[in-house]
Amino acid sequence: MKILVILGNYMPNSHANGICTDQVIRNLQKRGHEVHVLCYGNSINECKPEVLNDVYIHRIRRFQKYKMPSEYGRSFMSRFLPICKKWMVRLKLLLFLPVYPLNSLVLVSSFYRKANSLHKLEYYDALIAVCNPLEAVVSGALLKKKNRNIKSVMYVLDTLTCNPKKSFLSGWLNWSGWLWEKRLYKVYDLIINMNSYLDNYNNKRYDRFRNKIRFSDIPLLMDEWKPEVKKPTKKSSYKWLYTGKLDMHSRNPEYLCKLFLLDETLNKHEIHFYSYGNCENMILRYSAKSSGRIHQHGYVSRDKIIEELNEADILVSIGNKDSKMVPSKIFEYISTGKKIIHFYQNENDSCLVYLKKYKNALLINEKEETSKNIQKIKHFIDRPSMVIANKDIDILYEANKPSYTANIIEELLISNSTRG
């Protein structure tokens, strides 16, 4: 079958949702499906059609994204940019508050017009729209309304409800998200939500859509791909690695950076941040104090991340504060079989339920005494890595395999009639 996938950022320079979706796409390809992707493009050249890993990629033009602070070095722009972005985000939220979390009617129009023109040429059998961004899902719903024969999937990697922010707006934001869910759930034939939000979707208000809702998990436990895991050897200096988004309010690396400055043993190690978000200036400051032990690299390509996963000794995870969202990186980390150190601030951290099952993980509560945490880290680093059989990982994290989500989608594709 021919499948059109609509989403935000996609390969080769993608964020978490694009990486997760790519793994599901690859699994669908193995089953004989032809996949086309409609996604963002940041320049005129990037808007040209291309083929990558046998995926037909079509891009829409949008405003050029701001550079990361790290791209400006220590210039005035590295200090001014975060302030500018902060106020522009607030202004945009205010302007689009009545239709939150939608924040661009232009993007909806661009996605829809391109998807509609592609469908006239390709005659797609199925559509998968990935949330977030909401604009991709809304445009997919418009395409489905116009072409009822297309089997449609709303793939919700980022929920529209369960807003964790504690502010006077949080109630409205969650209610607005629910209003969008009601509109979209009526249109799509299948909705795939994440297991981490199961409690939310057990609410009675979803009963009317229960026949089309399925649950899956972050699909980054690789079916076949494994980084090159080197035989562990005891040494005086280890390479630590963090990949992904950081946020001052929900996923803050400051505690970790301080540990590298406080302890003499950790001072001999190096930590590399391949990250993006509003913590880049903080990492730069700690990097300047660390005499070359804390490294800030900013946002890099997917291939570079895989290369660094191969080379790292210790993989670092930081839990989300006051959020049920699970950082997708932990399943890539688990796939490597390497040691993982996870930093968290509360017992409701969504990562704990997954990492407690992984024998090579150390869980560090940032609220505990710092000296004790340092001792735990030293002991953990010095101990031999435990061997975990692939078949055991597959059983423990079955829902995190790309094939699990692909099975849910294919159930719809091979059905004789649409759900609803």
Grade residue 68 by pLDDT with cuts at 50, 70 and 90: very low
Both 370 and 278 in one domain: the answer is: yes
**Using CA atoms, how far apart are residues 131 and 134, in angstroms rounded to an integer?**
6
On whether both 37 and 147 belong to a single domain, the answer is yes
Cα–Cα distance for residue pair 195/325, rounded to 1 Å: 10
Does residue 379 share a domain with residue 274?
Answer: yes
Residue 79 lies in a domain: no
Residues 178 and 34 in one domain: yes
Average pLDDT on 109-125 reads 97
Are 277 and 291 found together in one domain? yes
Over residues 137-164, the mean pLDDT reads 93
Query: Does any domain span residue 85?
Result: no
Element spanning 294, H or E: strand 294-296
Most confident of 50-54, 131-135, 188-192: 188-192
Question: Encoding tokens for residue 167?
Answer: 């502010």
The per-residue pLDDT for 70 is 46
Q: Are residues 311 and 373 in the same domain?
A: yes
Q: Tell me whether the omega of the peptide bond preceding residue 133 falls within 30 degrees of 0, making it cis.
A: yes
Question: Is residue 275 predicted with pLDDT exceeding 60?
Answer: yes
> How many helices and strands in the chain, by DSSP H and E?
14, 14
| Residue 159 and residue 249 in one domain | no
Quick one: 46 and 127 in the same domain? Answer: yes
| Shared domain check, 272 and 173 | no
Task: Give residue 135's identity as a one-letter amino acid code.
Answer: E
| Positive/negative CA dihedral, 194, 196, 199, 205 | negative
Q: Which pLDDT value is given to residue 387? A: 74
Say if residues 246 and 276 touch (Cβ distance below 8 Å). yes
Residues of the domain holding 146? 2-62+104-219+401-413
CA-CA distance, 305 to 300, in Å (whole number)? 7
| Same domain as 308, residue 202 | no
- pLDDT tens across 381-409, in order? 988 888 777 778 888 999 999 999 999 99
Cα angle: 416, vertex 419, 420; to 5 degrees: 145
Residue 7 burial by Cβ neighbours in a 10 Å radius (0-12, 13-18, 19+) = buried
pLDDT at residue 71 greater than cutoff 50: no
The answer to whether residues 70 and 296 touch, using CB atoms and an 8 Å cutoff, is yes
Query: How many domains does the chain fold into?
Result: 2
Interval 215-273: pLDDT, tens: 999 999 875 555 555 555 556 689 999 999 999 988 999 999 999 888 877 878 999 99
311 and 324 housed in the same domain? yes
Q: Which of 252, 259, 312, 256 is nearest to 280 (CA)?
A: 252
For residue 90, is it within any domain? no
On whether residue 72 sits in a domain, the answer given is no
Angle between helices 402-413 and 16-30 (to 10 degrees): 60
Quick one: the chain helix, strand, coil %, rounded to 5?
A: 45, 20, 35
Any domain includes 231: no
Contact 188, 126 (CB under 8 A): no
Contact 203, 185 (CB under 8 A): no
Tokens 């059998």 appear where?
A: 125
- Total Cβ atoms within 10 A of residue 200: 16
**For residue 145, is it within any domain?**
yes
- Rounded CA gap, 125 and 65, in Å? 33
**Cα separation of 103 and 97, whole Å?**
8
Same domain, 297 and 383: yes
| Number of neighbours of residue 228 by Cβ within 10 angstroms | 10
- CATH at residue 390: 3.40.50.2000
Give a yes or no: residue 299 inside a domain.
yes
What pTM does this model have?
0.84
**Mean pLDDT of the residues in the chain:** 86
* DSSP code of residue 411: H
CA distance 187 to 51: 30
Query: Is 97 a domain residue?
Result: no
* DSSP-derived 3-state class of residue 70: helix
Among residues of the chain, what percentage have pLDDT more than 90?
61
